[in-house]
Structure 1
Amino acid sequence: MMQRVAVIGGGWAGCAAGVELARSGTQVTLFEASRTLGGRARAVDMDGRLLDNGQHILLGAYSESMRLMRSTGIALDDVLMRLPLQMRYPAGSGMQFVAPRLPAPLHVLAGLLRTTGLDRADKLALARFSTTARWMDWKLNDDCSVAELLDRFDQTDRLTQLMWRPLCIAALNTPPERASAQVFLNVLRDSLGARRSASDMLIPKVDLTALFPRRAGAFVEEHGGVVQCGAMVKRIVRAGEGWRVERQGTADPADLFDAIVVATAPAAAATLLEGLADIPALSAFEYEPITTCYLQYGRELRLDSPLFALEEQPDLGGWGQFVFDRGLLDPERAGLLAVVVSASREAIAPGHDVLAAAVATQLANVFRRPEMKNPLWSKVITEKRATFSCRPALVRPSNDIGVAGLALAGDYTACDYPATLESATRSGVLAARLISDTLSRARAAG
């Protein structure tokens, strides 16, 4: 008889676990409390418009995400636009760094030589950082903040403002003053420090649900599994040699499973595992919000690139850090810009309408196009607990919680990476393999 596994939580970690288990011949039931798969990276209906609940960039180094997408039949070129590593600001407002398509590490060095907007001291500081980090094998004896690391490496103020700060906030969703230097180095190791293609920036052409979660759910069903959206799981209990999933408002006798992957947010996981496993780290996280400001202009508006960095100037109302031209990614979205504000707690304090107006003014100023002050419509979406605050020496829980038949998955589990789509995917795969090994041992013993 095919063994049955429940995956509780249909975010990217849960979808990854479901796909990996289905591929191994396990019958999967995927429970998701909301009506749409994808968790904190999905499409949402906002006033009749389908918008992502956050703009995301993937990296060429995201090997597990790429592997799982391919394994479910997704053609990557159809859903992702591949750009070389770059940090480009609107003309006249900052530096222009684009890594050419050369073998690593020549691509970074050549890009640095061609960079405009930085002076000689800035470029020497960047070269010194890259060289020293490679010599250190991208490892620290003791973790510290990114700000401390940059100071230790004598990075210039301008380089920090235009490159290191926005990269840190984009990658870790945590300001450099309180972000983990070791995790930041891990990200740089697998992008700047790896093969050239690993540093490529991959921007979704489709909405985030279509990028992977929807296809993941279909893959589970095609392999004999079940996907139940709108299914709130309130408790899991031991039932003989297996487990029972108790849902809100129902007591289905079919909700008996040989094993369970808990792929929910930390607080929900702690509730589900209460009395089964003691995991202090689940209640120790602090969180950072991410805000995406959507501005719709006339269909004729186009930027010169799908992606630009923006210099963050909070004192002047310049909260935007990156702007994406969604029309260059999908012609059906012509004129739609998405501006990302990571670690956005201060930015959203005055209210969404105030932020949208400030961002529109910021764009009008940096692109020198006064008409951008007046979009046709705007929508601000904030994920208040978008990621955990990635602080130095943060203790993150393992996928293996010490209870046979139970595993934990999420972008917050122990991993080299911060809370990203790749860390969620990797965690889901590791949890699935842990469960598969447990079930294999049980079959061998029985």
Structure 2
Amino acid sequence: MTARVAVIGAGWAGLAAAVRLAGAGVSVAVLEMAPQPGGRARSLTDEGGERLDNGQHILIGAYTRTLALMEEVGADPQTMLSRTPLMLRRADGSGIEMPRGAPVTAFVRGVASARGWTWRDKASLLATAAGWAARGFRCAPTTPVAALCEGLSARVRAELIDPLCVAALNTPASEASAAVMLRVLRDALFGGRGAADLLLPRRPLSELLPEPAATWLLRQGAELRCTARVASLESTGPGWRVGGERFDAVVLAASALEAARLTAGVAPAWSRAAAALRYEPIVTVYLDAPGCQLPCAMTTLDEGPEAPAQFAFDHGLLGGVAGRSAWVVSGARTWVERGLESCAAAVLRQAQPLLPGATLRRVLAEKRATFRCTPGLVRPPAQVAPRLWAAGDYIDGPYPATLEGAVRAGETAAAQLLAQLRDGPTRAGPKERPSPAPTA
């Protein structure tokens, strides 16, 4: 008899798990509380009927599992993503660009050719990066990112480390985990040819994975139930009852807060670990400035007390609406507290030198965009109980909250469940165990 598995949540982690399970011949039911799949990386339709993403996302060449999953469900990364070498360029032309080639050689060439940097700036980065490499890109779990920068010049910190940290970890460098940041730097800058390439969406986020994956799953005979919030999760010996419906196993791919609610009665320690996570918001401000464009598709900005955004993305240069841009405020806790109207007004003022006469199209806030990736953070493990695995970008692992982290977590949960299903039924009930500390 074919095993039945419930996947609770149709974000990128849940979809990745569902594709792997359905591809292995398992009967899959995906239960999503929202009206559409995609989780926090989806598209919305505005009042004018145009699609705007819930937040601007970027991918990099090191997102190998995400790119492979897109291809598998029929979304072509070559046409849907603009791929260029990693470039952190400011409006005045200063900044760094990584050329193509072998990772170490490309990094040295990129640093040597950085515009606006003195030879002291460049030497400080090369020497510091050599130290990171010599230590295997590892450090104590309690180390903050700021400690990685002690040998760097102020300009390199401001124009490279700070933007990379807030883009990858959505946590200010003064508060962010150095262990996780080093893993990101290792895999991106030194992970192989093309790993550091910048991949910017040419199409709305929902078209990159959520919609193609949903179509693929339906063709495989899987169920996709939207607006279906799960009320309860109960153990039934070798299987689980999900909202009263019997399944052989479960992938819990809901948000950490929703997962904590569902597991409070079956795995209290895991539930407490998930509920203890703290979050950083991200605000995306969409502007329209017909006849204007930014210096490049992704422009690095000078953040300040009245300049909230760290990056601006020109949708016209990416094949979208000409004159439209997305201004991203990461680590936006202070600005959310001040109010979205205040944030949008500040971004409009920040944009005027580059986009004279720009007007506000829409402001969107994801108040729990990512967990705060701080030193020594304890994240919940993937296994909750026998035949109950959690999947999400918040699960214990070496990566921050990214699309790639979500996809990898989903695929890992699916692989573990498939192994347990092959091993046959187990009578063991939910087993409590403490959450391990994350490894670098």
Alignment of 1:106-121 (within 5 A): 106-121=105-120
Query: By how many angstroms is 1:443 displaced?
Result: 6.9
Deviations along 1:9-35, one digit per CA (max 9) or x if unpaired, are 111111111111111111111011011
Equivalent residue, structure 2, for 1:432: 414
- Which amino acid letter does the alignment assign opposite residue 193 of structure 1? F
Shift of 1:161: 1.2
Report the TM-score when normalising by structure 1.
0.92
The residue type paired with residue 252 of structure 2 is V
The within-5 A match list for 1:137-176 is 137-151=136-150, 154-176=151-173
1:291–1:381 contact (8 Å) kept in structure 2: yes
Measured after TM superposition, the shift of residue 90 of structure 1 is: 0.5
1:214 deviation in Å?
A: 1.0
Note the residue ranges of structure 1 that are not aligned, 5 or more in a row. none
**Alpha-carbon separation, structure 1, partners of 2:375 and 2:57:** 24
Q: Secondary structure at 2:338's aligned position in 1?
A: coil
Superposition pairs of residues 349-428 of structure 1, within 5 angstroms: 349-365=337-353, 367=354, 372-401=355-384, 403-428=385-410
Q: Which runs of 5+ in 2 are unaligned?
A: 428-440
CA separation in 2, counterparts of 1:179 and 1:91? 28
Whole-angstrom CA distance in 1 between matches of 2:422 and 2:216 = 22
Deviations 1:255-304 (A, max 9, x none): 32111111111111111112211313112211100111100121x32233
Pairwise CA distance, 1:142: 4.6
Task: Count matched residues.
Answer: 424
Q: Give the Cα–Cα distance (whole angstroms) in 1 for the partners of residues 118 and 214 of structure 2.
A: 50
Partner of 1:325: 314
| Distance in structure 2 (CA, Å) of the matches to 1:74 and 1:50 | 18
User: Which residue in the other structure is 2:175 paired with?
Assistant: 178
CA distance in 2, matches of 1:378, 1:322: 17
1:198-209 equivalences in 2 (<5 Å):
198-209=195-206
Q: Cα offset for 1:339? A: 0.6
Partner SS, residue 244 of structure 1: strand
SS in 2 for 1:288: strand
Structure 1 match to 2:124: 125
Alignment-derived partner of residue 8 in structure 1: 8
- 1: CA distance, partners of 2:126 / 2:350: 31
The CA distance in 2 between the partners of 1:427 and 1:400, in whole Å, is: 11
Name which of structure 1's ranges 50-59 and 354-363 shifts more when overlaid on structure 2: 354-363
Report the alpha carbon displacement of residue 46 of structure 1 after superposing the two structures with TM.
Answer: 3.1
Please tell me the residue identity of whatever aligns with 2:131.
T
Letter in 2 for 1:110: R
> Match of 2:227?
230
Sequence identity (%) = 39
Q: Which string of whole-angstrom CA distances, capped at 9 and with x for unpartnered residues, describes residues 74-128 of structure 1?
A: 2111111111011100126xx2211111222111111111111111221111111
* 1:292 alignment partner in structure 2: 284
Partner of 1:308: 299
CA offset at residue 2 of structure 1? 1.8
Aligned counterpart, 1:265: 255
The alpha-carbon deviation at position 318 of structure 1 amounts to 1.1
Shift of 1:444: 11
Superposition pairs of residues 209-248 of structure 1, within 5 angstroms = 209-239=206-236, 241-246=238-243
Q: Deviations over 1:208-238 (max 9, x none)?
A: 1111011111121111101011111110223
In structure 1, the residue matched to 2:438 is none
